[in-house]
Amino acid sequence: MSKTVAVKIAWLSLAVLIAVPLVVTYNPTANRDNDIVLLYALLALTFPTGLVVAALYALVGHTLEVRFAAQLPVGRLAMIVDCVVFLTAGYLQWFVVFPSIWTALKKKTTAH
């Protein structure tokens, strides 16, 4: 198994180990902050792209509320949507974009 595959498995396993218990044990009446903890964990796993995703969420939420009098989902559905969006962005960042930038930089430096 290559290092890249091992890192991917570790990153995805960590994401699942964080997200699943928080989503499953979410209870809006018990004043537990699972949704907040999940957001912080997702921001950590997807840093720095997670900050951009959070800003886009805020922009979309504000636009929906002002223009259409609608809201983003809340509760477990919101937590699941957050996981999908943040983890997709984080996966693309860490395992697609950054490696391609790294490869391009290595090619450029070894060409000189």
Determine the pLDDT at residue 66.
86
Residue 110's pLDDT is what?
Answer: 86
pLDDT of residue 18: 96
| Banded pLDDT at 29 (limits 50, 70, 90) | confident
Q: What is the C-alpha separation between 25 and 20, in angstroms, rounded?
A: 8
Question: Is residue 20 within 8 Å of residue 37, measured between CB atoms?
Answer: no
Return d(Cα 43, Cα 87) in angstroms, integer.
Answer: 9
pTM of the complete model: 0.87
> Which of these, 47, 20, 23, 21, lies nearest to 35 by C-alpha position?
23
Give the rounded percent of residues in the chain with a pLDDT score beyond 90. 70
Cα(38)–Cα(15) distance, integer angstroms: 10
The predicted pLDDT at position 72 comes to: 78
Nearest Cα to Cα of residue 73 among 89, 57, 49, 53: 57
- Average pLDDT (37-56) is 95
| pLDDT tens for each residue of 58-111 | 999 888 888 888 787 788 999 999 999 999 999 999 999 999 999 999 998 887
How far apart (Å, rounded) are the C-alpha atoms in residues 44 and 88?
A: 14
So what's the pLDDT on residue 112? Answer: 66
